[in-house]
Structure 1
Amino acid sequence: MPTDAAVDALFLPIREGRLSWPADGALFLRARAGALQAREWPGLICVQSFRPAFDALREGGFDVRAEAEPSRTWPLVLLLPPRQREEARALLATALGYLAPGGRLVLAARNDEGARTHEADLSRLAGAVSVLSKHKCRVAWTAPLDGPLDPALAAGWRALDAPRAIADGRFVSRPGVFAWDRLDAGSALLAAHLPADLAGEAADLGAGYGHLAAALLERCPRIARLDLYEAEARALELARTNLAAQAQRVPLGFHWHDVGVGLPRGYDAIVSNPPFHAHDRDARPDLGRRFIAAAAQALRPRGRLWLVANRHLPYEAALAEGFAQVRTVAQRDGYKVIEAVRAP
């Protein structure tokens, strides 16, 4: 199984005997499998809203959910905090609310992903913490708690993650979602070049909060159906809100799905701004290539893919392999817009 330094660090206090594993199990927020074995951790409930990580946990035999059970509390809560500060603070405050009386919270992060900041934030809510450093990570855990030491601060931090209006009220978004506080420049460039003659059944791969899908429906009146595929459940719920008005005139599908494993049906047109970073922010051009392969397999004869990507990303070979015609439509501000057409 692949290693994950933050996961290894998170479980270090338990493996070393500094903390004991509760008989009632534990809650693991933003869980990742890493090299963990499910049988080692009886009663562990994993929560993960990112579909590829969710699927990896499930395939590893873990009990995994998209959301935590809101009414249940735990003697031990484990957390891999996200990088975005507001999202991380909101999740940290929420995690403390899942503790049973006398419970402990443990978090871990890589040093280059804000480990000291997360440790400091935990101290602000929970008082003095114990700390270990290993695997270029820091792991911090609380004393037994009966909730956050500063309930007012915790309540304020929980609200940091609340959905809010962006782009002059055109969309609702929230911290942690891709380009959460703006219209992404690459997606905006693609939206501006979408041709009005795209028609039939369409899909948006990596739909985020729905920016590209909304543009497609506005610019292309002959779209008869649109399916949105998004790996992050938090973003997909925002897309449902942002496209509620369009759903009155065009059938819409919202799919919590890892595009990299392929699509379940065929389409006449596909739009996409593929991801090119993994959860740890390392560059992953293979993700975009997998999106291109999935689009090529799902498009019907003469089906069209409209794609935007950073100009330096090496997608040309994947496009040439899957499509009969490929052309660069526009290049600006470090982005390229490409149209690719399936063979007849």
Structure 2
Amino acid sequence: MSGPRDTDAALETLFHPFATGALAWPREGGALFLRARDGWPLHARPLPGLVAEQSYKPAFDALQRSGITTHGDDVEGTFPLVLVLPPRQREEARALFARALMHAGPSGVVVACMPNDEGAKTGQADLARLAGQVNVLSKSHCRVFWTGARSTDLALLEEWRVLDAPRFVAGDTLLSRPGVFAWDRVDKASALLMQHLPTDLAGEGADLGAGIGVLAMDVLARCKHVQAIDLYEAEGRALALARQNLTGRANVGFHWHDVTQGLSKQYDFIVMNPPFHAQSRADRPDLGRRFIEVAAQALRARGRLIMVANRHLPYEAILGERFAQVRVLADEGGFKVLEGVRA
């Protein structure tokens, strides 16, 4: 129950009203925690009936390891208390506020917390627009706010609950939704990789951190000797979209998986646009390095890694350690496309 999440200021502030006595945990009926994360506040006192929902696999796994009942997708039913850690993306956050109020029923309390520099004031105003006046406390550069006597704007609730619904983007070629990475476009890094993708990739491959399936779709369209490709993605909402974008392809596998934990299969090639953020704004080059390590371990002899990254991220050293041959396929627009070949 200890680790890096013990310094999660938003999670700690979310439970501040309960620590001060401003709010009481429900005596019955339990509570739903949307976008839940594990940390010491969930274990500092009994929280009977707590149910968590989290679509991001590393956070989901951490909650389950702590013994918390956790679901990866939409939980059903109403609860007297709904806790929320809203995302930064505003349409997704507004849809989440609407869902929280629906799960709280006519009399339940919705409690949300956001860091001040990630839209706390805006989030507070949005919840107030939906539910009426809210109560507020501040702590650790975060703001926790919760509903009081409810005066829900039902028309606005109906409008906001579908703000993050899946829709076609990028010239109606991709199904996406607010909140997933680069949701309304093909991001520049992936576009550069696709521009310089070797067309002689063959055999069995994988896309690590596959998102909504953009790279995998391009590989299958351009590399005629690819027999199969597996998509690995930690964000369940993105993977569900990838399934639809690649529907009908018998040679595609989908894995809701934390790549940093390693892979259980071997491949002839791997493509990836690895993440360099987790669930915060801070750069995490260690994630990209770990993706490279996992890719090297999962590639067969002479297997190839084709990846793209921000130019400033220092990946060449670990590529040199893990691969017999490394070369730069492209370096432009602030991004670089790199190839590594196993011995």
TM bin, normalised by shorter chain, reads over 0.9
**1:174 Cα deviation after fit:** 0.3
CA distance in 1, matches of 2:195, 2:78: 48
Give me the CA root mean square deviation.
1.1
Match among 7, 11, 14 for residue 7 of structure 1: 11
Please list every run of at least 4 consecutive aligned residues from structure 1 whose deviation after the TM superposition is greater than 4 angstroms.
none
Match among 75, 80, 89 for residue 94 of structure 2: 89
Equivalence map 1:101-140=2 (5 Å) = 101-140=106-145
Match among 32, 40, 53 for residue 46 of structure 2: 40
SS at match of 1:36: helix
Aligned twin of 2:164: 161
SS at match of 1:74: coil
Q: Is the 8 A contact 2:34 2:82 kept in 1?
A: yes
Aligned twin of 1:29: 34
Aligned twin of 1:187: 190
Gaps of at least 5 residues in structure 2 are none
**1:42 Cα deviation after fit:** 1.8
CA distance in 1, matches of 2:41, 2:201: 46
SS at match of 2:41: coil
Aligned twin of 1:20: 24
| CA-to-aligned-CA distance 1:150-205 (integer Å, 9 cap, x gap) | 11101111111111111111101000000000011100110111111111110000
CA distance in 1, matches of 2:41, 2:316: 37
CA distance in 1, matches of 2:19, 2:124: 20
The 3 A distance-change label for structure 1 pair 76 and 37 is closer
| CA-to-aligned-CA distance 1:9-46 (integer Å, 9 cap, x gap) | 10110111111101222000000113234463121101
Equivalence map 1:52-67=2 (5 Å) = 52-67=58-73
Q: Is the 8 A contact 2:209 2:234 kept in 1?
A: yes
Q: Is the 8 A contact 1:3 1:35 kept in 2?
A: no
CA distance in 2, matches of 1:120, 1:321: 51
Aligned twin of 1:261: 261
Task: Work out whether 1:74 is the aligned partner of 2:66.
Answer: no
Aligned twin of 1:272: 272
**1:144 Cα deviation after fit:** 4.6
1:152 maps to a residue whose letter is A
SS at match of 1:6: helix
SS at match of 1:327: strand
1:95 maps to a residue whose letter is A
SS at match of 1:271: strand
SS at match of 2:302: strand
**1:322 Cα deviation after fit:** 1.3
Q: Is the 8 A contact 1:93 1:158 kept in 2?
A: yes
SS at match of 1:101: coil
